[in-house]
């Protein structure tokens, strides 16, 4: 599997494994270690985290397992996120869900993630959501401190509009390396709002969360989802592949260089995504899926 170069210091695998649901998978430490080893064997060396995942537990679950095999832990690339504060029994002082991109919180959160992950360095730290109270000078100060101390290699954002991305970038002395956004056959809003064009303009590889539309593509019964499902099944049958592989191949075909995040703990689903790297959809097939999602042909 090829590596995607985000900047001079950081490259990540073309597919990323996401551990958002790790706490729900009820895995033992040995199960987590085995899953990581299987991902590495398939060429996936990058794992996507956030401080809030699993009600603030997933980083620690992952770190407790990988901390037992530090030589394996050091082979991994870690992406994690900060900036959202959830109401949680693990954060009893939070009485309302809110955002915090202050200098103090970014630095504390990054250092806390390192502690939980049993690592000395985060490869990419993302601001999880755009904050209406963002103070760009504070973000820049926090990023600069973490970078100079060697705690974080590179920085990016998640769910930012292009205008929000540019506003923050204007305060930084180094480039933001990615924007992690929702992209799938069923979620085309980032094509419509200019975010994909912005990634093209700045040579940024977007990371795609929920690349399989959160599973709704397989279960929802609305006219739109039924139409998409029928088209996906038809093209999958023609290629003699799984339907989820068509959805990954559709993303991977885009010239902006989308990096899908695989949110499954099941090896067969991870393998299927890896196999999609070798698939070639025709331009007409790509637009057939686009049309099914949009509900109308292109102008």
53 has catalytic annotation? yes
Q: How would DSSP label each residue in the chain?
A: -PEEE-SSS-EEESSEEE-TTGGGTT--HHHHHHHHHHHHHTT--EEE--TTHHHHTHHHHHHHHHTT-HHHHTT-EEEEEE-EE--BTTBTT--S-EE---HHHHHHHHHHHHHHHT-S-EEEEEE-S--TT--HHHHHHHHHHHHHTTSEEEEEEES--HHHHHHHHTT-SS----EEEE-BTTB-HHHHTTHHHHHHHTT---EEESTTGGGHHHH--SHHHHHHHHHHHHHHHHHTS-HHHHHHHHHHTSTT--EEEE----HHHHHHHHHGGG----HHHHHHHHHHHHTS---
Whole-angstrom Cα distance, residue 221 to residue 232? 15
Question: Among the options 53, 56, 99, 171, which is catalytic?
Answer: 53
Whole-angstrom Cα distance, residue 1 to residue 205? 16
What residues are labeled active site? 53
């Amino acid at each position: 599997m090829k590596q995607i170069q985000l900047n001079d210091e950081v490259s990540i695998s073309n597919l990323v494994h996401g551990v958002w649901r790790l706490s729900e998978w009820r895995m033992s430490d040995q199960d987590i270690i085995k899953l990581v080893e299987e991902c590495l064997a398939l060429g996936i060396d990058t794992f996507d985290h956030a401080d809030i995942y699993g009600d603030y537990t997933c980083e620690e679950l992952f770190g407790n397992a990988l901390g037992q095999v530090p030589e394996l832990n050091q082979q991994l690339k870690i992406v994690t996120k900060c900036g959202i504060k959830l109401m949680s029994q693990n954060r009893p002082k939070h009485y309302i869900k809110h955002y915090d991109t202050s200098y103090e919180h970014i630095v504390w959160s990054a250092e806390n993630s390192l502690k939980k992950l049993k690592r000395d360095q985060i490869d990419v730290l993302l601001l999880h959501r755009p904050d209406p109270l963002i103070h760009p000078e504070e973000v820049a100060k926090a990023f600069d401190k973490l970078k100079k101390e060697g705690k974080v290699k590179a920085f990016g954002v998640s769910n930012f509009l292009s205008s929000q991305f540019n506003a923050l970038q204007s305060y930084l002395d180094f480039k933001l390396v990615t924007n992690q956004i929702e992209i799938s056959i069923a979620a085309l809003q980032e094509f419509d709002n200019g975010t994909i064009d912005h990634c093209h303009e700045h040579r940024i590889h977007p990371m795609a969360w929920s690349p399989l539309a959160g599973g709704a593509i397989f279960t929802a019964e609305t006219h739109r989802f039924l139409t998409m499902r029928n088209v996906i099944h038809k093209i999958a049958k023609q290629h003699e592949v799984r339907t989820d592989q068509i959805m990954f191949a559709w993303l991977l075909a885009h010239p902006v260089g989308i990096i899908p995040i695989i949110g499954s703990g099941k090896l067969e689903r991870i393998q299927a995504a890896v196999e999609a790297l070798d698939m070639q959809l025709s331009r007409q097939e790509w637009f057939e899926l686009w049309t099914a999602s949009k509900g109308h042909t292109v102008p």
